[in-house]
Amino acid sequence: MPDHKDLLDILRQTDGYLSGEELSRQLGVTRAAVWKKIEQLRQEGYEIDSVTRRGYRLTGVPDSISEAEIRANLSGKGTFGCRIVSLPSVDSTNEEAKRQGDAGAPHGSVFVADEQTGGKGRLGRRWVSAPGSGLWFSILLRPDVLPSEITGITLLSAVAVCRGIQSLTGCEARIKWPNDVVIGTKKVCGILTELSAEMEHVHYLIPGIGVNTNNGAFPPELSDRATSLKMETGQDIRRAVLLGKILEEFEELYNRYGVSSFPEEYRSLCVSLGRPVSLQRGGCKLTGTAVGIAPDGALLVRTQEGEEIAVTSGEVVVQGFYGEKL
Ligand code: BT5
């Protein structure tokens, strides 16, 4: 039997038609075996044109997140994606990354799923992850740092997502501090970073990234605040291509900044800066203006009373976004 991936690779690398005979020669198998694999690929959604006496030609690729499709779209040096685990359904790709992280999976492993039955946001919130509608993935990192030194990773991941979206779709994705990627005033992506550590040592770190790609609609409670790349561009998005672009950007940024710092670009992409904001602190509501991002990633807010405070966690409402009031 020819390897599925080998056949697909040959078809991908060929512009015109390739005869069954040529394929069977290159793969070292019978023409009947080639035909069987072609049928299998068609069933997986690949469009393969066949013309008598000319042979086969790849004319369409499905929105598949199979390992083969993801590998075909990886362009980085190979650390991120050294191991790819692609699942049809999982509770949460972060949970899968933790399970495999505990079992020794290497730095740079990527876990991706078509559907999450228990997709998670921060603080126990739910992340809507319907089958096929988005790119849900987690990256396992094993940096040699203290738990206090990982303050840059969520911010760096957000920049990688913005760059990946921009390069694939041309959409100007921006960041709502700390972990939301937005297009216009709606959320297209959320990031949840989780950690396994002792006081003196990080075992592993998992940025989990969810990008809405092909959703046509959202549940009513999200319709004011959520959007998808398809809703913004009108185009069908191939998740494997988007994943390849995000991982390429992630690799470049990670090699430069590690987990403790983040690119200056974060500040120029951050829509929270310069806008009126409100937040809860010590049981009270504070309003003010977001004026900066500290080196440790905290949001600096000048309150109405003129005091400057550093916000390290929690929800910050930004005027004009998600249909929320200050
Ligand atoms: C986040 O939390 O935004 C982090 C989301 C991380 C999801 C990824 S997917 C891969 C990996 N595996 C996981 O299980 N999680 C990660 P937070 O800032 O707490 O925002 C959660 C809020 O966003 C919810 O309370 C909803 O209001 C909203 N929300 C839920 N699903 C959404 C969606 N698909 N698109 C936009 N907004 C959504």
212 lines ligand 1 (CB under 6 A): yes
CA of 209 to the centre of ligand 1 (A): 9
Contact 111, 85 (CB under 8 A): yes
Nearest-CA residue for atom 35 of ligand 1: 226
Residue 40 clears pLDDT 70, i.e. is over it: yes
210 lines ligand 1 (CB under 6 A): yes
H or E segment to which residue 300 belongs: strand 299-303
94 lines ligand 1 (CB under 6 A): yes
CA distance 167 to 213: 14
Nearest to 135 by CA among 238, 252, 249: 238
- How confident is the model over 62-99, as pLDDT tens digits? 999 999 999 999 987 779 999 999 999 999 999 999 99
Task: Specify which residues 138 forms β-bridges with.
Answer: 111, 208
Instruction: Categorize the per-residue pLDDT at 1 as very low, low, confident or very high, splitting at 50, 70 and 90.
Output: very low
Nearest-CA residue for atom 28 of ligand 1: 127
208 lines ligand 1 (CB under 6 A): yes
125's CB contacts (< 8 A; 6+ apart) are: none
- How far does CA 27 lie from the centroid of its chain? 34
pLDDT, average across residues 148-164: 97
Taking CA atoms, 110 is separated from 74, 93, 133, 225, in Å, by 12, 9, 19, 28
- How confident is the model over 276-325, as pLDDT tens digits? 999 998 889 999 999 999 999 999 999 999 999 999 988 899 999 999 99
- How confident is the model over 120-131, as pLDDT tens digits? 999 999 999 999
Report the residue count for the chain: 326
pLDDT, average across residues 128-146: 96
- How confident is the model over 230-278, as pLDDT tens digits? 999 999 999 999 999 999 999 999 999 999 999 999 999 999 999 999 9
25 lines ligand 1 (CB under 6 A): no
97's CB contacts (< 8 A; 6+ apart) are: 105, 109, 111, 138, 139, 140, 204, 206, 208
CA of 83 to the centre of ligand 1 (A): 25
CA distance 304 to 295: 23
CA of 69 to the centre of ligand 1 (A): 25
Q: What was the pLDDT predicted at 5?
A: 66
pLDDT, average across residues 166-181: 97
CA distance 147 to 151: 9
